[in-house]
Amino acid sequence: MYISYDGMLEPLGQSQVLAYLERLASGRQIHLISYEKTRDWRDSVRRVSTARRISEAGIRWHPLRYHKSPTALATAYDVAVGTALAIALAWRHKLNIVHARSYVAALIALGVKRASGAKFLFDMRGLWADERVDGGLWPANGWLYRTSKSLERRFLKAADRVITLTHASEEEIRRFEYLRDNAPPISVIPTCADLDRFTIERPPASDPFVLGYVGSVGTWYQLDDMLRCFNYLKELESDAQLLVVNRDEKEHILDSASALGIDLSAIEIVAADHREMPRLIGRMSAGMALIKPLYSKIASAPTKLAEYLGCGVPVLGNEGVGDMAAILNGRRVGVAVSDLSEPALREGIGRLVGLSREQGLQERCRQVALELFTLERGAARYAEAYQELLEGQR
């Protein structure tokens, strides 16, 4: 049984849940419980096509309605409904494993484990409670944070296996005092991408140097720092261009760039759907992923890192974010700056320009992506975890 509080009608559900389950369904009976938002469910074309995709994979889908407000009561209701359904399915179909994606799903999975004896796989996705505090959504040490950390402790102690996204977070979890004598097995499976789509489509961009960014800006991604990097790049490459792929924040990005004195004619902002991403990334000389280096970010594995590298594009990132520094600096497929100060960013841009001129860089980026971030590799790691659970290893 796979439980996701994200909906399968959302892009994230399709790329980070269904893409794996389709590869895992052969030879397995998989029941999928997801929570679908009303707006998505009303899209009958998407609903029917998604249901067909799931059915063709041999997966049995049990969609539930997602409730948003009032927040705590709505989530409690969703958990109660999901737990009743999940326990009934576990009993009826004699399911051996309950795989919970993140914390709300883990509440349901814990009930299933206790009621049916199924093995509990806790797929953390990150340090969720700490992320809420770091993002300014919860007060530090408030009751929501304390309650969530208490639940996290219960999940980790009850789990028969834990999945986390980064080696940095694995090391941190193993240091938790309450796990020192009885830690469950932990597997690291980073966020993967469909590298059959995100692939090299053209020779590496040469002149002008195109610095790029894909995605939204705000809570985690440092727009002003990335714009400053472009300013520093212009000092080295006067004809450099900035390509931003972003749906809804064009005005905000241009206002921020103007405030920093950037020539707006050097900036191209494109609103594109997921199908167009490989072509747009392929135009870049380098991509950026500068993230606030907060405590919770040690557990982050940005999808855009896999997508950039899959397209043969080196990356400008920063230390303190998951395994980014080890990948970029250690494998020479980009630059992870030590911090977000002006000297560090200037030095990083200089190193990035030099690296981008190296022969064979495009192929090296692609090879690292194939080694670390393919859906097939991720699915194979999940299959190994399932098999070990069935064999009773703990």
Please report the pLDDT score of residue 81 as a whole number. 97
| C-alpha distance from residue 319 to each of 8, 135, 226, 233, 354 (Å) | 33, 18, 15, 20, 20
Contact of 171 with 162, CB cutoff 8 Å: no
Separation of alpha carbons 159 and 113, rounded Å: 9
Helix 102-116 and helix 71-93, axial crossing angle in degrees, nearest 10: 40
Which portions of the chain are predicted below pLDDT 50? 393-394
Give the per-residue SS3 of 38-70: HHHHCCHHHHHHHHHHHHHCCCEEEEEECCCCC
Q: Where is 119: in which H helix or E strand? A: strand 119-123
The class (CATH top level) of 2-189+375-390 is: alpha beta
**Within a 10 A sphere around the Cβ of 261, how many other Cβ atoms?**
8
Please, are residues 335 and 329 in contact by the beta-carbon 8 Å criterion? yes
Query: Strands 97-101 and 119-123, how do they pair?
Result: parallel
Looking up tokens 């505090």, which residue turns up?
133
Q: Can 2-189+375-390 and 210-372 be said to share one CATH topology?
A: yes
DSSP string, 244-303: EE-SS-HHHHHHHHHHTT--GGGEEEE---GGGHHHHHTT-SEEE--B---GGGGG---H
Element (H, E) at 6: none
Domain regions of the chain by residue span? 2-189+375-390, 210-372
Predicted pLDDT at 393: 45
* CATH code for the domain defined by 210-372: 3.40.50.2000
List the structure tokens of 281. Answer: 């990334």
Distance, CA of 316 to CA of 324 (rounded, Å): 10
Q: 371 and 378 in contact (C-beta within 8 Å)?
A: no
Give the pLDDT of residue 72. Answer: 85
From the number of C-beta atoms within 10 Å of its C-beta (0-12, 13-18, 19+), residue 319 rates as middle
Calpha distance 63→36 (Å, rounded): 6
Polymer length in residues for the chain: 394
